[in-house]
Every structure is written in structure tokens, then in C-alpha cells.
């Protein structure tokens, strides 16, 4: 696959954020903040899913250039997922406008799952640079595995919104990832296990 400079990739990943920021600046309607909550959260989930698709796609399409490119650049998508999650969180805090409503919302399943997912994102984003990879060694991979927990919590957060009205859209987005991860798990466990008569 042709070389795609990271600066161009960052520009592509930033296009939705540029649009959202323009809408915030140019819209006189204060409701625009609430209207942008869902798309910012959805883009965070989408980029998270894309980042996580890299490993199972490399396993399925061995030798193909795009899965290998995606695997090489998945950290960019992961950081973009955090960036949109941060954007989403800031909009939520501004929309609530005060600490009281924020705290009263916190016990809500649809809300606390989002907060925990976001808190998991923070150390993942901070340690995404190469120097942390070298410094942490094997611990970096252990930390990265918490991405799966963040993905599950993001799915639950999305699905539980509006009295579980987000179930359909959440499953449409996360369903392919779940299927590919299930295949990956099967490949490295059941498939790799030799039959009893061969032991």
C-alpha cells in the first residue's frame, strides 16, 4: 500500500471535529451543544472500532497490505477515538452546566459506563507515544489490553442511552468487531489445540 504520511492521516481523522467546531462557532442556537453530543460520541466509538479491527483483519487477510497498514497506524485511530471522547465529554459537561446535574446523572447506567470508558482511555492515550512503548515494555501491552474493557463499556453506554434506544445502532457498529474478535479467539485457542487422538 502506498505510503500515507501521518500528517495526512491526522487531517482525515480531524475532518469531523473541524465540522463540529464550525457548527459550535457559527450556530446561534444553544441547543447545538446537545445536538453534537451523539455524533462526537459515535465518532469516538467508530475510531475505536477501526483501531481494534487491525489485529483480526491481519489474521484473516494474511499478507494483504491494508490490514498491515491499519495495524501499523492503529495508534492514530486510538488517539483519535480518545480525542472525540474528550470532545464528547466536554460537550456533556457544558450541556449540564453545573456540578449538581452531573453528579445526579452519575449513578445512571448509561452515564457511569461512559465515564469509566473515558477514564480507561486516558492512560491509553497518554502512553501512545513510542517512548512510552519502550519505557513500559511488556507492561505497555498489558495496559493496551484494557482497550477491550473500554470497548465493552462504550457499547453498553451507547446501547443504554434513551432507555436502551441505542441498542440497534450500537450493535450495528460493534457487531462486526465482536464477530472478528470471536474468530480471532477461536483461531488462537480451539483451532490451535490439537485433537485428542494426536496428543
Residue 199 lies in a domain: no
DSSP string for residues in 22-62: HHHHH---TTHHHHHHHHHHHHHHHHHHHHHHHHHHHHHST
Task: Report yes or no on whether pTM surpasses 0.85.
Answer: yes
Dist. CA 67–CA 59, nearest whole Å: 9
Range of the domain at 33: 6-190
Q: Which three cell numbers stand for residue 186?
A: 477461536
Dist. CA 84–CA 199, nearest whole Å: 50
Q: Which three cell numbers stand for residue 55?
A: 489485529
- Output DSSP code: residue 3: -
Residue tagged 451507547 (cell numbers): 158
Chain-wide mean pLDDT for the chain?
90
Tally of structural domains, the chain? 1
Helices (H), the chain: 6-26, 32-60, 65-96, 99-105, 109-126, 130-136, 138-144, 146-164, 167-188
The count of C-alpha atoms lying within 13 angstroms of the C-alpha of 67, restricted to the half-sphere facing its C-beta, is 13
Residue 198 lies in a domain: no
**Would you state the torsion angle of the CA atoms of residues 126, 178, 61, 137, taken in this order, to the nearest 10 degrees?**
30
**CB-based burial of residue 26 (10 Å sphere; 0-12 exposed, 13-18 middle, 19+ buried)?**
exposed
Residue 115 lies in a domain: yes
Residue 34 lies in a domain: yes
Residue 155 lies in a domain: yes
pLDDT digits (tens, 9 = 90+) for 43-78: 999 999 999 999 999 999 988 999 999 999 999 999
Residue 195 lies in a domain: no
pLDDT digits (tens, 9 = 90+) for 91-120: 999 999 999 999 999 999 999 999 999 999
- Output DSSP code: residue 114: H
- Number of Cβ atoms within 10 Å of the Cβ of 150: 22
pLDDT digits (tens, 9 = 90+) for 133-165: 888 888 888 888 899 999 999 999 999 988 888
Residue 197 lies in a domain: no
Residue 156 lies in a domain: yes
Amino acid at each position: 500500500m502506498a505510503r500515507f504520511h501521518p500528517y495526512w492521516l491526522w487531517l482525515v481523522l480531524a475532518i469531523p471535529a473541524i465540522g463540529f467546531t464550525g457548527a459550535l462557532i457559527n450556530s446561534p442556537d444553544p441547543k447545538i451543544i446537545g445536538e453534537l453530543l451523539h455524533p462526537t460520541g459515535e465518532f469516538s466509538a467508530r475510531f475505536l472500532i477501526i483501531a481494534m479491527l487491525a489485529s483480526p483483519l491481519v489474521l484473516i487477510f494474511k499478507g494483504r497490505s491494508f490490514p498491515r497498514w491499519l495495524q501499523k497506524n492503529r495508534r492514530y485511530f486510538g488517539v483519535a477515538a480518545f480525542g472525540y471522547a474528550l470532545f464528547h465529554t466536554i460537550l456533556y459537561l457544558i450541556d449540564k452546566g453545573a456540578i449538581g446535574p452531573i453528579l445526579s446523572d452519575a449513578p445512571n447506567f448509561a452515564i457511569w459506563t461512559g465515564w469509566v470508558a473515558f477514564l480507561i482511555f486516558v492512560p491509553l492515550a497518554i502512553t501512545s507515544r513510542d517512548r512510552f512503548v519502550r519505557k513500559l515494555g511488556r507492561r505497555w501491552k498489558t495496559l493496551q489490553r484494557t482497550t477491550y474493557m473500554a470497548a465493552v463499556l462504550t457499547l453498553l453506554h451507547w446501547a443504554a442511552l434513551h432507555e436502551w434506544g441505542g441498542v440497534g445502532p450500537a450493535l450495528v457498529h460493534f457487531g462486526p468487531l465482536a464477530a472478528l474478535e470471536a474468530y480471532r479467539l477461536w483461531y488462537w485457542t480451539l483451532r490451535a489445540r490439537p485433537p485428542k487422538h494426536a496428543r
